[in-house]
Structure 1
């Protein structure tokens, strides 16, 4: 048996005993070192109309990394003791299983470093779908973990990044990751006018919305230029959205939903994420600002929602 987080009511994880998972054919079991806490955890934790309780043991945890400790039948290309990051779904517990084709070995350069790979893989996939080119003006709406990584990738690609976010410390984070301009996310029309000023009325070739709420989506739509591309990276999980189709039509923009479900695409992003951090392209350690134990998972999710001073991303460690 192992301790595992179980969501028993809105806003309340409990740590309960659960069976240690066994790897099926083509799977490995990983003894986890930790798991990142995702912004997508917040709304299910708070409770949604379709929620049922209790949740699956370890469920909602999908940003795990650790050491392979058991192999399922037919697995031969990974060894017990190898350190990996993986794509799985029950990592709010000390053990989880993953398909052997959904994990990536961590190189020696990342020894002893926390590595929640899934959100970095998302960033890599979003950036690819955005098709950012040198000389583009790229607005990023919402600077948290994802927005900061995308700011770094876009600025390194030769784009001029305009970062838009609520908190001054988030704007400072964007500047540290290469943003050329920052705008406080306070008034809709003031922001649009500022983007017009910064772009000579042309607005932006690329806009990445990374919040997952209605107003940031509206704002992102408004600052895309003619023939530009709106990239929806925010996770809109709380119901339908309205869009300004008149504006979309008139400007002739491309709209990209940058959430991937093809396991091969996700694995590609995970490989790119490992390479980016190992090669020094992304400073992951600087973005993992808060650490919690499994027993403190409620506090970790609350911090992800409330963003105390200095917060970028939380990880649960075992």
Structure 2
């Protein structure tokens, strides 16, 4: 076999499934036959087109939440073997095969069976949790309860924090309660949310606020909800233009602001390893989070669902069975 199928972004909102050359792993790389790939909210803006976009995109491009089975090894790879089931960090996984550096590939334990495992977003959640520096007894507001917000709710609750979950959809708030949130607030009115958090915290507000939406208003809301000397953690992916911040509030409150997207490959890999442990131990219930599945031919529908969030939606997977 010398070719494979891959999704190609050919115009804003248009994905074509093309036959392209099968990638060959270079030195220190492995090729993975994909079982599936998660769809990230960060796929939405590139899919719709941005001022700097060019077309067509790279085959398989935007897919970065893949898992599958090692298919071939490049020179110098000694700790992986064909047939190993793995999660990995690479960027062309809306395709039947992808290539990744061997040090960005993590074996999945047999205890996970054939369970889907989008390692990148799970590892991202673990790294955000670490950067949040939560302590038992603290109150943390999590703004935006999707896949990432739900996982962070569980991690924070297990760490002994009191979670106030804030999200638009009632079913998202139900999910937050299922994952341990002590309090939930509908995300409809800026000042009403602030007043409710004041009531819940005795006017002290929150020691930690995690913004997991990636839009201007949630960032403004996060600034308002963090208390004196607290920490505002930016977990949302802001990619649709510049942001404004209330520097007066940031200064006056003496808060720390953390952008929690890790770019160190070793830290990214550690997050995936920690996520594997969390899922294998039963701490994180993936079944409740991986709600919608699409074949590769419907990858555009999967991205649209990620944007529009149909009933019951948490996260979409593209599968290659």
Name the TM tier (shorter chain): over 0.9
Q: Does 1:234 align with 2:221?
A: no
| 2: CA distance, partners of 1:284 / 1:23 | 31
Once the two structures are TM-superposed, the CA of residue 59 in structure 1 deviates from its matched residue by 0.5
Once the two structures are TM-superposed, the CA of residue 131 in structure 1 deviates from its matched residue by 0.5
| 2: CA distance, partners of 1:129 / 1:109 | 29
Q: 1:211 aligns with which of 210, 213, 216?
A: 213
Q: What SS is found at the alignment partner of 2:45?
A: helix
| 1: CA distance, partners of 2:167 / 2:194 | 13
Once the two structures are TM-superposed, the CA of residue 285 in structure 1 deviates from its matched residue by 2.0
| 1: CA distance, partners of 2:221 / 2:254 | 17
**TM-score, with length taken from structure 1:** 1.00
Structure 1 residues 90-239: aligned runs within 5 Å: 90-239=92-241
Q: What SS is found at the alignment partner of 1:119?
A: helix
Once the two structures are TM-superposed, the CA of residue 286 in structure 1 deviates from its matched residue by 1.6
Report which stretch shifted further, 172-181 or 277-286: 277-286
The two structures, once aligned, show a CA RMSD in angstroms of 0.4
Q: What SS is found at the alignment partner of 1:34?
A: strand
Q: 1:80 aligns with which of 77, 82, 92?
A: 82
| 2: CA distance, partners of 1:273 / 1:54 | 34
Once the two structures are TM-superposed, the CA of residue 103 in structure 1 deviates from its matched residue by 1.1
Runs ≥4 residues deviating over 4 A: none
| 2: CA distance, partners of 1:94 / 1:16 | 11
Tell me what 2:43 maps to. 41
Once the two structures are TM-superposed, the CA of residue 284 in structure 1 deviates from its matched residue by 1.2
Q: Does 1:315 align with 2:317?
A: yes
Q: Deviations over 1:163-205 (max 9, x none)?
A: 0000000000000000000000000000000000000000000
| 2: CA distance, partners of 1:27 / 1:244 | 45
Q: Does 1:247 align with 2:249?
A: yes
Contact 1:165 1:183 in 2 (8 A): yes
Tell me what 2:15 maps to. 13
| 2: CA distance, partners of 1:42 / 1:104 | 27
Q: What SS is found at the alignment partner of 2:243?
A: coil
Q: How many residue pairs end up in the alignment?
A: 318
| 2: CA distance, partners of 1:175 / 1:100 | 38
Unaligned segments of structure 1, at least 5 residues: none
**TM-score, with length taken from structure 2:** 0.99
| 1: CA distance, partners of 2:288 / 2:171 | 14
Q: What SS is found at the alignment partner of 2:22?
A: coil
Tell me what 1:292 maps to. 294
